[in-house]
Amino acid sequence: MPAGFTKEETIGKGRKKYTYTDKVVVKGTKGDEKGKIRKNIKTGKKSPLIKIGSKDYTGQKLPIQFKLMANSTRLYIHPNAFACVLGTIANVGYKDITMVGFTGKDNHGFPSKTHVNGVHGDFRYLRKDKTGASLHINNDEGAKELDVTRQEKMIDAFVKFGWPKFYSYKFKLTKDQKEKQLLKKCDHLGGHHHHLHTRRFKPKFK
């Protein structure tokens, strides 16, 4: 890294964080992230963030239950996004939702460009066995465990609360299916075979 940083830290997954007077730089040091750099320019403005934790609230007929992935490095979310996530979960009432995460403590969302400021996040795909466990839909065995009906109902709920588009991954439900398909309102993007990514957030709540 260029000289001049005022502070050097090691954060989640061995990532290096360098603080400068005008910017914060995060650099990956392991695996697929090795050498990747995310630079955040300091503007003097701070986006408010809430630290996420697993929730189980069933009072007043509002079922809100989800788990945060145990090794998530994106433990923070914008308050408006959090309100809309809770609205989405209450709307569908599922008990097997696993949130992968939204952003890091300093809004960097490394190595993603779209997780900045905690308004876009990742969720594991919903399984037919309702365990909330990891699911990879880029292979036949994984795809047949995808609960398309419930997943698309949850997508509709996300849309209702402010996320109109998503990144996902093309899949086949059967081996003899001629063309791969996508979940509704989704675009295909590599690396999204194990999670749904929310996009284009404009909060919708009262």
User: Do 120 and 28 share a structural domain?
Assistant: no
What's the token pair of residue 45?
């403005």
Whichever domain contains 153, its CATH number is 3.30.1380.10
- Distance (Å, whole) CA 35 – CA 140: 33
Q: What is the dihedral of CA 177, 100, 130, 82, to 10 degrees?
A: -120
What's the token pair of residue 51?
């630290």
Lowest mean pLDDT among 18-22, 86-90, 191-195: 18-22
Is 176 a member of any domain? yes
Distances (CA, A) of 187 to 8, 23, 87, 133, 164: 37, 32, 24, 23, 12
Is 204 a member of any domain? no
Is 102 a member of any domain? yes
User: Do 21 and 61 share a structural domain?
Assistant: no
- Region 103-128 average pLDDT: 89
First to last CA, the chain: 45
Is 98 a member of any domain? yes
- Distance (Å, whole) CA 112 – CA 142: 25
Is 1 a member of any domain? no
Range of the domain at 16: 7-41
Tell me the per-residue pLDDT of 125-165, one tens digit each, with 9 for 90 and over: 999 999 999 999 999 899 999 999 999 999 999 999 999 99
Report the domain count for the chain.
2
- pTM of structure: 0.87
- Distance (Å, whole) CA 105 – CA 87: 23
User: Do 74 and 27 share a structural domain?
Assistant: no
User: Do 69 and 32 share a structural domain?
Assistant: no
- Distance (Å, whole) CA 162 – CA 83: 11
pLDDT at 60: 65
Q: Which residue matches tokens 């001049």?
A: 4
